Amino acid sequence: MKQSYTFNNIIDKVNPSWFVFLKQNEDILKDILLQIERERTNGKEIFPRPSYLLRTLRFFEPKDTKMVILGQDPYPGFEIHNDKIIPHACGLSFSVSKKIKKIPGSLRNIFKELKNNYPDYKIPENGSLLKWAKEEKILLLNSGLTVIKKSPGKHLKYWESFTDSLIKYISDNCKQVIFLLMGNYAKKKVNLINAKNNFIVMTVHPSPLSANRGFIGSNVFKKIDVLLENHEIQPINFSFS
């Protein structure tokens, strides 16, 4: 039997320090999950699986958040390994499981720009960004936290108020967090962020459809380095080696 999208299932592994936020938004979250679970029981294939939902809130406390990388929608694609569907969506924006053989285009372009910024940067062999979350305290957040298989954008309407509240919660309760907003959709979230206490960095989306119109060659990661250096904050290590 497939695991269901219920409140208790998805908060099971969340770092307890996020429970203040979750308690404030419990009714909203339960209503979202009810709608998603209704779709699942009616035959819709939903990504990521319940065990990976809210995964980005597992690895550190709100006060330790160093950076937020905001995506729009989880990946709607998947691969089949040994007759089993492995979703691209893994609960971390832009990231995929190490099992996924083909790195998605947006993530390939992120790695490409990192290589442009740091010539010695070694592009990883897989698309897992788990190290960024665990070791660098980067919150890899999508505005929509679930997606229907092969149907991007269908769940944004469910999640947007919840994730907007999360962005604002981090902005209001943390200081000197870098919010990396890539693309027009992410840039619309700028009004949720307290720019006096935090840093906002904006650039073109790394999607293959837009990356060559301003993301590639933007030196966005070097700009983040300079920003942190100017405020005497330890730089972020984007390397996987």
Q: Which residues are catalytic?
A: 73
Residue tagged 């929509």 (tokens): 144
Residue tagged 């999950």 (tokens): 33
Its sign, for the CA torsion 229, 233, 239, 241, is positive
CB 113 within 8 A of CB 218: yes
